[in-house]
Amino acid sequence: MIQILLVDDHPSVGEGTKSMIEQENDMKATVVTSSMEALAVLKSQSFDVLMFDLNMPVINGLELTRRVTAINPDTPILIYTGYDISSHFNILVEARVSGFISKTASREQLIIAIRCALRGEAVVPISLLHQLRRNDARIAASGDEESIEGISIDEREQAILREVARGKGNREIADILLISQRTVEYNLTRIFGKLNVRSRAEAIVEAKRLGLIPNENFI
């Protein structure tokens, strides 16, 4: 029997999805309504596939994915959401999710996504597939010949820089990128160090000079 754990803070959605899944003779779904419940259940029970809603209170689906993969990287995780995830897609891929399912998907699409995850295959909507790209942008910063160095800005740092350029504060950036405010602050410190600047305004100017963020992102 294929054991599936579904985490969704809307009980009616969870039970409806469970009903669709269990129409398959070889599948059984367990539903919990919070990430904390999920972490507790995973301590005592193993599952073949995990399905996480993305937008949940306290611990969202992205953070839950990170915590679970840190403990058990082999269990496939599907993001099951009714929200547009395009702005979070690359971060979710980096977190090692195995696929994405819309809550508006048909039962057939739902079952296909689960069986693909079990086979080690990923189901990714075409609109999101086009966003796949390298996570690192390496920019050569020129100076005199003896001090030429490379600046490596990873995708999360680029995303934070874009939001800083749009005038967002740390809490707003954390909410937009589904990360903690402490993570935003930590990454800003790293960015300042890499760009050799001391303020957000200087970081924006230097990022513009290096082409790390497009001009339309500037306030």
Dump pLDDT digits (tens) for 80-100.
887 766 666 777 777 788 888
Residue 109 covered by a domain: yes
**In the Cβ-directed half-sphere of 197, how many Cα atoms lie within 13 Å?**
16
With a cut of 70, say whether residue 67 has pLDDT above it: yes
Helix intervals (H) in the chain: 11-21, 35-44, 61-71, 89-94, 107-118, 126-129, 155-165, 170-177, 181-195, 200-210
Residue 163 covered by a domain: yes
- For the chain, the domain total comes to 2
Burial class (CB in 10 A: 0-12, 13-18, 19+), 130: exposed
Identify the sign of the CA torsion 25, 27, 28, 32: negative
Contact 95, 66 (CB under 8 A): yes
Task: Give the span between the Cα atoms of 127 and 25, in whole angstroms.
Answer: 32
Residue 48 CA, distance from chain mean position: 21
| pTM across the whole model | 0.61
Taking residue 170's Cβ as centre, other Cβ atoms within 10 Å add up to 18
Do 15 and 119 sit in the same domain of this protein? Answer: yes
CATH number for the domain harbouring residue 160: 1.10.10.10
With a cut of 70, say whether residue 56 has pLDDT above it: yes
Residue 41 covered by a domain: yes
Using the structure block, give the residue that is written with the tokens 């339309």: 216
Q: Give residue-wise pLDDT tens across range 118-169.
A: 998 877 766 666 655 544 444 444 443 333 245 677 778 888 988 898 889 9
Between 65 and 153, whose confidence is greater? 65
Tell me the pLDDT of the chain averaged across its residues.
Answer: 82
Taking residue 208's Cβ as centre, other Cβ atoms within 10 Å add up to 16
Residue 160 covered by a domain: yes
Q: Give residue-wise pLDDT tens across range 100-122.
A: 888 888 899 899 999 999 998 87
Q: Give residue-wise pLDDT tens across range 9-34.
A: 999 999 999 999 999 999 999 999 99
Which residue range(s) make up the domain with 127?
2-131
Identify the sign of the CA torsion 158, 163, 165, 169: negative
**Which of 97, 131, 165 finishes a domain?**
131
Question: Helix 155-165 to helix 200-210 angle, to the nearest 10 degrees?
Answer: 110
Do 163 and 56 sit in the same domain of this protein? Answer: no
Do 75 and 180 sit in the same domain of this protein? Answer: no
Q: Across residues 57-76, what is the average pLDDT? A: 88
